Amino acid sequence: MKKILLITVGTIVLAIAPVPVRADDTGNMPGMNMGGMGQNNGSMPNTNSNNSAVTSYATKGVVEKITPDRRTATIDTDKIPGYMDKMTMDYPVLNTNELKGISPGDIIRFKLVVSTNADWIDGVHRIGHSNSEMTNNMPMQMNMSHDMHELGTGDLLPDGALTAEDGREIHFSDFRGMVLAFTFFYTRCPLPNYCPLMNRNFADARDALLSMPDAPTNWEFLSISFDPDNDTSQVLATYGGFYRHGNSSHWLFASAPKRTLSVLAPALDLMVIHQGSAITHNLRTVVLDPKGHIYHQFDGNQWTPSQLANVIMQAARGNVKTL
């Protein structure tokens, strides 16, 4: 089983008003809680306030997991009014010594600090212990097809219908003849190291490819929302426009209906779990060759735009993959 980065999303039926959205003076889109969009890639947070605005939120939660080096803690976090719903996710830890004596099941108070480049937690204090069952012990797939095994390099990706940002129904097979890089996200994702990072990485990788005079042209990016109830075509068009800076070349946004996700999820070890009004998910980014076979899969957020651009160029030229 691959490493899982979990996010638990609050009420899924919360609507995003389908009106034109204008970026504010800092470049953020109001109402979408996009947080920072820099490339922390899971490394220690950049706390230099000269480079980015920093906002701190006092909150509490239940510890679910701590990595052996104490640099990352998985916490079932209470709702932060005005910023994010109740979520379970991995946080970088600024001062690892603060986790000494902290164990899974402990209730802690802490500060969630968010900049335009990173997020991390600080000021950790134990205030009690919870006897409730940890969410990371829950079944990791719900309402998913059990007939599909996890695919690997060289396997053909099952075709599936998606709804594009312009309202068209599209299919993975529509991209045959091109290298297709796709990732999963939802527009309400608030923290820099999750969905915003996936789209920021796509933006930088696309810019790198477009700037290369000798780069192949048979490639496309596709960002797929797994929250179609909220992420309507109009929302996706506005959201995509923010990341594409008015240039839609080689990059499309779409949403995946449940029937498509039920096939894709087990095939890619993608976790999209409905638990009442909440969703838990991990991160998957896939590159398909021109025949629709899996050329490479990036798990989590530990990859860079240059790595993605390099894989796309190799696939487009029919080369053997090297990283």
Can you tell me the distance from the alpha carbon of 223 to that of 162, in angstroms, rounded to the nearest whole number?
11
Residue corresponding to tokens 């899996």: 294
- Assigned token pair, 217: 């042209």
Question: Closest Cα partner for 258 from 305, 224, 210, 301?
Answer: 224
Give percent of the chain above pLDDT 90: 59
Name every residue whose Cβ is closer than 8 Å to that of residue 198 and which is 6 or more positions away in sequence.
Answer: 183, 184, 185, 223, 283, 285, 301
Answer with the residue of higher pLDDT: 63 or 137.
63
pLDDT for 142: 38
Flag whether pLDDT at 225 surpasses 90.
yes
pLDDT for 307: 97
pLDDT for 31: 33
Can you tell me the distance from the alpha carbon of 308 to that of 117, in angstroms, rounded to the nearest whole number?
20
- Assigned token pair, 225: 């929302």
Arithmetic mean of pLDDT, 303-320: 93
Flag whether pLDDT at 133 surpasses 70.
no
pLDDT for 167: 97
Answer with the residue of higher pLDDT: 256 or 47.
256
Name every residue whose Cβ is closer than 8 Å to that of residue 256 and which is 6 or more positions away in sequence.
Answer: 160, 162, 184, 224, 225, 226, 228, 264
Can you tell me the distance from the alpha carbon of 300 to that of 314, in angstroms, rounded to the nearest whole number?
21
CA angle 200, 306, 195 (to 5 degrees): 25
Flag whether pLDDT at 196 surpasses 80.
yes
Flag the least confident range among 199-203, 213-217, 236-240, 282-286: 213-217
Q: Which of 126-135, 218-227, 265-274 has the highest mean pLDDT?
A: 218-227
Beta bridge partners of 80: 84
Flag whether pLDDT at 15 surpasses 70.
no
Q: Do 229 and 210 form a contact (C-beta atoms < 8 A)?
A: no
Arithmetic mean of pLDDT, 21-26: 33
CATH number of 161-316: 3.40.30.10
Question: Closest Cα partner for 261 from 277, 242, 243, 279?
Answer: 279
pLDDT for 153: 95
Flag whether pLDDT at 70 surpasses 70.
yes
pLDDT for 278: 55
Flag whether pLDDT at 135 surpasses 50.
no
Q: What is the mean pLDDT of the chain?
A: 81
Q: Which of 43-52, 168-177, 277-286 has the highest mean pLDDT?
A: 168-177
pLDDT for 319: 76
Can you tell me the distance from the alpha carbon of 95 to that of 98, in angstroms, rounded to the nearest whole number?
6
Arithmetic mean of pLDDT, 12-23: 31
3 state SS of 166: coil
pLDDT for 126: 97
Answer with the residue of higher pLDDT: 88 or 137.
88
Determine how β-strand 169-171 pairs with β-strand 179-185.
Answer: unpaired
Can you tell me the distance from the alpha carbon of 13 to that of 279, in angstroms, rounded to the nearest whole number?
11
pLDDT for 282: 87
Can you tell me the distance from the alpha carbon of 84 to that of 49, in angstroms, rounded to the nearest whole number?
22
Flag whether pLDDT at 2 surpasses 70.
no
Flag whether pLDDT at 43 surpasses 50.
no
Which residues of the chain form CATH 3.40.30.10?
Answer: 161-316
pLDDT band at 29; cut points 50, 70, 90: very low
Q: Identify residue 228 by its one-letter amino acid code.
A: P
Q: So what CATH class is 35-137? A: mainly beta
Q: Look at the pTM and tell me if it is higher than 0.85.
A: no
Flag whether pLDDT at 277 surpasses 70.
no
Arithmetic mean of pLDDT, 290-294: 97
Q: How far is CA 2 from CA 44, 149, 150, 277, 283, in A?
A: 22, 14, 11, 26, 11
Flag whether pLDDT at 7 surpasses 90.
no
Which residues of the chain form CATH 2.40.50.320?
Answer: 35-137
Can you tell me the distance from the alpha carbon of 209 to that of 219, in angstroms, rounded to the nearest whole number?
9
pLDDT for 82: 85
Q: How far is CA 29 from CA 12, 241, 293, in A?
A: 20, 11, 35
Arithmetic mean of pLDDT, 60-68: 94
pLDDT for 27: 37
Flag whether pLDDT at 241 surpasses 50.
yes
